[in-house]
Amino acid sequence: MKRSAFTVEAAVGLFLLLGLCALLALAFASTNGRIGLAGDTYEVSARFSNVGELRPRAPVKIGGVTIGSIARVELDPERFDAIAVLTIDRRFDQIPADSSAAVYTSGLLGERYISITPGGDVEVLGPGDEIFMTQSAVVLEQLIGKYIFGGADESNGDSK
């Protein structure tokens, strides 16, 4: 009887240890492998008229490959534009200065991220530089409204 109690206790302990490992793996996977330790990075900014639901820590990608993250999103009090400050990994320090940035969505209702399309300039983006060519987020509600009300205007014009 004493041996079976030890076996049950060992099995329960092993089960709890495996559950804790699974939770840690899930937490690590949900942060895209980032554990919050600041590596060797530099910051650049990009100005948008609308960033949609872009949040800090959202990815910054080139060609679908994550090269950094969003440090913060601020509002310019003079021009009322959204300024996204991007933290780029130092390994990617050869991004041409004439690159463009756009706000995209992963899938139909996925998270927002910034995609950088490299330009052809020989000069590269450095710390504190700004990406001037930007494309704002496409807001699904605005597209639906344009479709609905645009279609209504066309049908009214045809019936006259």
pLDDT score at 146: 82
pTM value > 0.75: no
Question: What does the alpha-carbon distance between residue 79 and residue 88 come to, in Å, rounded to a whole number?
Answer: 25
- pLDDT score for 26: 82
Select from 70, 43, 89 the least CA-distant residue to 137: 70
Q: Name beta bridge partners: 65.
A: 62
Q: Which of 77, 81, 78, 93 is nearest to 43 (CA)?
A: 93
- For the chain, which residues make up each domain, given as ranges? 1-30, 41-143
In degrees and rounded to multiples of 5, residue 96 shows phi and psi of: -60, 145
Q: Residue 3 carries which side chain, given as an amino acid letter?
A: R
Q: Which amino acid is at 24?
A: L
Give the other-Cβ count within 10 Å of 138's Cβ: 13
What are the pLDDT digits (tens) for 20-44? 999 888 877 766 555 554 568 999 9
Write the CA distances from 99 to 26, 81, 121, integer angstroms: 35, 19, 8
